[in-house]
A and B are shown apart, each in its own frame.
Chain A
Amino acid sequence: MRRLFLLLSMVGWSLAACHMSEANAPGRVASLDDVTNGFIEATPAPNPTAGVFYNDGTDGDVRARTENYFASDLSKVVGFDNFGPLDGNSASTQPTAPTPVERLLIQKGEVRVEVARPDDVARDFQAKIKAWGGYLQNQVGTTLVLRLPAPKFDEAFAAAKELGRVLVESRAANDVTEEYVDLGLRLDTAKKSRDRLLEVLKKAEKVEDILRVEAELRRLGEEIERMEGRIKFLQDQVAMATLQVAFQATSTPPPPPKRSRQWSRFGWINRVGAEQMLRGEF
């Protein structure tokens, strides 16, 4: 009786195992809908966190992919080498508290300054930005649009304000962390779908199927290019801040000299000055 029970149990386990592996059996060709909808993983890597839900409501699998994406791609962003959202235990099955993430910020600023010699000041400021690793993006008169490494943004903003009387100043930081991560995940999925479609294309025999797959590949290719372009744009915007500085000539003359002027006790100084040079015959 006991032997019969053991035998039945083994048969039952074998059947269950066969059923589970059927979907990924080497001989099975995935349908086009399966592939394009991304329902089937080509070679699903064992992920111990899959199916585990975290306190923040994210699925363990999604979370692991998100963090892997950060680890692989985000560190390439200039100026964000110390970006470290990953904890070493992300593969752990134990739910962990969300790690604080350094934000990806696009920094922009505008300064309008009144100076005595706008041309000279603009030229000197541009040289300073160049020395900091920045460059001139656009110039109209003495209004400069400058791009500079994000870590230097605060210093440049303060330096611009010190050049004269500040008329206008504003700055903003746009957080693009969520968009960047989302794009990364969507790009990852799209690339996997494209790989699977290529596999399907190899095995497709009917002309109709081939055409359908090729059309889908074209669509995916365009989508991938669009997403890669957007990611590059975001990386550039985060790495290089934008600073618009307008240098404006001082419109009003300085106040006239005080009526109760005290003469200098040094005689030669009293003989020097704009009034002595410009009033009367020279």
Chain B
Amino acid sequence: MRSVRTALWALLACLAACATPPLTLPKDFVALGDRGDGYRAITADDARLRVRTLDEATEGGIEFWSDALANDCVQQRGYQLVERGEIADREGKAGRWLEFTANVDGERVGLLVAVWVRERWMGKPCLQVAEFAARSEVFAARLPAVKASLATMH
């Protein structure tokens, strides 16, 4: 009986941890919650932020994954890579960010993708991916705050 109660507490603790936002939201963003496709937030001028944990069976370090993403976006989708760099999360874990400009339905938009390689249960790796996208002008205005917010990821 006691062990069942302990297990229930542990389960509740896990659920509470899962419900915690994965980052401190930047100014003007409102959380939309998680519908099963990641944690989402949005601004009144339609800047969008999403954080997801994505499984990837292939082993690869952070350099490999950031290069793979950059290559696909530039060579297959016609994005322009504006800048890329390193970022550390709240615990100091190193990730990579890439900034692109892209053409979506004839409109110029900006996209920021930040990637971390995380350890899951049983040592299996997964990728935590944060995306921020908006129209070009909105994107440029909000980018510094979003980058600062990404440093609070966990």
> Which among B110, B129, B133, B134 has the greatest number of chain A C-beta atoms within 10 A?
B133
Let me know if B78 is at the binding interface, CB within 8 A: yes
Let me know if B108 is at the binding interface, CB within 8 A: yes
**Is the beta-carbon distance between A255 and B68 smaller than 8 angstroms?**
no
CB contacts (< 8 Å) of A279 on chain B: these are 104-105
Tell me if A's interface is mostly helix, strand, loop or mixed: loop
**Residue-wise interface mask of A (217-255) relative to B, using a CB-CB cutoff of 8 A (1 in contact, 0 not):** 000000000000000000000000000000000101111
**Residue-wise interface mask of A (154-183) relative to B, using a CB-CB cutoff of 8 A (1 in contact, 0 not):** 000000000000000000000000000000
**Is the beta-carbon distance between A266 and B103 smaller than 8 angstroms?**
no
- Which residues of chain A from 258 to 282 have a CB within 8 Å of any chain B CB? 258, 261-264, 266-269, 271-275, 277-279, 282
**Is the beta-carbon distance between A257 and B78 smaller than 8 angstroms?**
yes
CB contacts (< 8 Å) of B140 on chain A: these are 117, 119
**Is the beta-carbon distance between B104 and A275 smaller than 8 angstroms?**
yes
**Residue-wise interface mask of B (86-115) relative to A, using a CB-CB cutoff of 8 A (1 in contact, 0 not):** 000000000000001111111111110100
Q: How large is the interface on B (under 10, 10 to 19, 20 to 34, 35 or more residues)?
A: 35 or more
Let me know if B8 is at the binding interface, CB within 8 A: no
Q: Please, how many angstroms separate the alpha-carbon atoms of A279 and B48 in the complex?
A: 11
Which residue of the partner chain, among A250, A258, A266, A268, contacts B101 with CB atoms under 8 Å? A250
- Which residues of chain B from 114 to 154 have a CB within 8 Å of any chain A CB? 127, 129, 131, 133-134, 140, 143
Not counting A253-B107, A278-B104, a sample of 7 additional A-B residue pairs whose C-beta atoms are within 8 angstroms of each other reads A253-B108, A254-B78, A254-B80, A266-B68, A274-B79, A274-B111, A277-B133
Subset of 9 A-B contacts with CB under 8 Å:
A116-B80, A116-B110, A254-B108, A264-B72, A268-B55, A273-B111, A274-B79, A274-B102, A278-B133
Residues in chain A within 8 A of chain B (CB atoms): 116-117, 119, 250, 252-258, 261-264, 266-269, 271-275, 277-279, 282
